[in-house]
């Protein structure tokens, strides 16, 4: 199929309207079959549950072309499971996991000409999302829901290589103990907008959030999990019930252990020990890994030995191995690469 005529390598991480999207509706206690449609507009009651009480959750994944011309997605079963977990926590109906994966594949297929070519660095970002659609004014879950999947081509996250970023320790909290930090709820992002706008104004790329209860332990940023590398090359990832379980982080942990023979630890990480790590990175679907060069804690700087010029050597190895697996140049563990065509 002929590709759209886009300047793939220079796309930003922004929305471009593509040809087709998936829409399913939940009514009278059941999901309909859903359709692939050209209609990009959502028409809702002025009193829709999502508009009044933010009853909405989402997922983020990507489709891309491999070296041998296949179109694939990465571990969609984990997105389907996480969307189920998010829906349950928000009292929303679960969209069945097998149908979720099929719908994702159908939307990608329907927009095949929008899948960026291999080697461009760009990907087709996939956004499944669900929201309460009928009128709700007394506080309760909606009775009707819409589940949609849109796709949009996005450019390489780092143009001209991944430069380490500087982040700050935030005075705001991202998630409360026993709250909704572990699910992909829209509300988690709404409340993070003020902290991130403030951080950007101050010249920082991201916020490091600490645990809300004691402010002594590392949680995550607004949209990415932390990974740390010790001086003897152990991968350490923070553990907390209010961290969003990143699929990238879980995949990197597997890669570290089974491909690179590294020691891995998933445990509570005190902010006080961060200064002793050799490397630090942020991980998520969009960038895979963003290296962190410096963390500023109220004027006190933690500068990692890996510096501000390039990724540290161990994070670079993790990055190269995982992206190699994703692109089909390194053999993937069973079930990681889901072929669409």
Q: Would you name the residues annotated as active-site residues?
A: 184
Cβ of residue 189: shortest distance to ligand PLP, in angstroms?
7
Cβ of residue 244: shortest distance to ligand PLP, in angstroms?
4
Cβ of residue 168: shortest distance to ligand PLP, in angstroms?
17
Whichever of 111 and 240 has its CB closer to ligand PLP, that residue is 240
Answer yes or no whether residue 224 interacts with ligand PLP by CB under 6 A. yes
Buried residues in 124-157 as b, exposed as e (16+ CB within 10 A): bbbbbbbbbbbbbeeeeebbbbbbbbbbbbbbbb
From CA 130, how far away is CA 88, in angstroms rounded?
Answer: 12
Sole residue written with tokens 């003897």: 232
With contacts defined by CB under 6 A, name the span among 20-28, 44-52, 217-225, 298-306 that binds ligand PLP.
217-225
Whichever of 76 and 293 has its CB closer to ligand PLP, that residue is 76
Q: Considering only residues 86, 170, 240, 248, which one is a binding residue for ligand PLP as defined by CB under 6 A?
A: 248
Tell me the CA end-to-end span of the chain in Å, nearest whole number.
12
Whichever of 25 and 198 has its CB closer to ligand PLP, that residue is 198
Local structure of residue 163 (DSSP, 8 states): -
Q: Quick one: which of 194, 41, 53, 24 has its CA closest to 135?
A: 53
Whichever of 19 and 85 has its CB closer to ligand PLP, that residue is 85
Answer yes or no whether residue 186 interacts with ligand PLP by CB under 6 A. no
Q: CA geometry: angle at 74 spanning 264 and 54, to 5°?
A: 95
Q: Considering only residues 247, 255, 292, 295, which one is a binding residue for ligand PLP as defined by CB under 6 A?
A: 247
Q: Are 82 and 184 in contact (CB under 8 A)?
A: yes
Question: Pattern 116-155, binding to ligand PLP, x per CB under 6 A?
Answer: ----------------------------------------
Question: Pattern 297-326, binding to ligand PLP, x per CB under 6 A?
Answer: ------------------------------
Answer yes or no whether residue 244 interacts with ligand PLP by CB under 6 A. yes
From CA 74, how far away is CA 65, in angstroms rounded?
Answer: 11
Whichever of 31 and 158 has its CB closer to ligand PLP, that residue is 158
From CA 266, how far away is CA 22, in angstroms rounded?
Answer: 37
Backbone phi, psi, residue 117, to 5°:
-65, 150
Cβ of residue 300: shortest distance to ligand PLP, in angstroms?
25
From CA 117, how far away is CA 40, in angstroms rounded?
Answer: 25
Q: Considering only residues 220, 278, 294, 322, which one is a binding residue for ligand PLP as defined by CB under 6 A?
A: 220
Q: Which residues contact 256 (CB under 8 A, 6 or more apart)?
A: 235, 262, 264, 318
Taking the CB of residue 267, how many other CB atoms lie within 10 A of it?
Answer: 10
List residues binding ligand PLP (CB under 6 A): 60, 184, 220, 223-225, 244, 246-248, 284-285
């Amino acid at each position: 199929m002929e590709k759209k005529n886009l300047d793939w390598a220079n796309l930003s991480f922004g929305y471009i309207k593509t040809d087709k999207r998936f829409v399913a509706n939940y009514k009278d206690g059941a999901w309909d079959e859903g359709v692939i449609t050209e209609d990009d507009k959502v028409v809702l009651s002025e009193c829709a549950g999502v508009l009044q009480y933010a009853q909405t959750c989402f997922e983020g994944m990507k489709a891309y072309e491999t070296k041998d011309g296949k179109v694939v997605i990465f571990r969609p079963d984990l997105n389907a499971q996480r969307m189920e977990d998010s829906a349950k926590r928000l009292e929303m109906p679960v969209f069945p996991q097998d149908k979720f994966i099929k719908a994702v594949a159908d939307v990608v297929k329907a927009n095949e000409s929008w899948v960026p070519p291999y080697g461009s660095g760009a990907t087709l970002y996939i956004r499944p999302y669900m929201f309460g659609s009928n009128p709700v004014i007394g506080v309760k879950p909606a009775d009707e829901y819409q589940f949609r999947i849109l796709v949009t081509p996005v450019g390489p996250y780092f143009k001209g290589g991944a430069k380490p970023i500087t982040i700050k320790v935030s005075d705001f909290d991202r998630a409360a103990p026993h709250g909704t930090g572990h699910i992909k709820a829209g509300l988690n992002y709404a409340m993070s907008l003020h902290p991130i706008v403030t951080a950007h104004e101050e010249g920082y790329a991201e916020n490091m959030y600490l645990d809300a209860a004691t402010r002594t332990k590392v949680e995550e940023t607004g949209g990415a999990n932390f990974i740390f590398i010790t001086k003897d090359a152990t991968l350490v990832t923070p553990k907390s019930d209010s961290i969003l379980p990143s699929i990238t982080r879980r995949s990197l942990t597997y890669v570290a252990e089974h491909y690179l023979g590294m020691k891995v630890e998933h445990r509570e990480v005190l902010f006080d020990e961060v200064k002793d790590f050799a490397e630090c990175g942020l991980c998520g679907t969009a960038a895979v890994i963003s290296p962190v060069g410096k963390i500023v804690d109220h004027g006190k700087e933690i500068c990692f030995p890996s510096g501000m010029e390039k990724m540290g050597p161990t994070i670079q190895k993790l990055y190269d191995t995982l992206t190699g697996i994703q692109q089909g140049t390194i053999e993937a563990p069973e079930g990681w690469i889901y072929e669409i065509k």
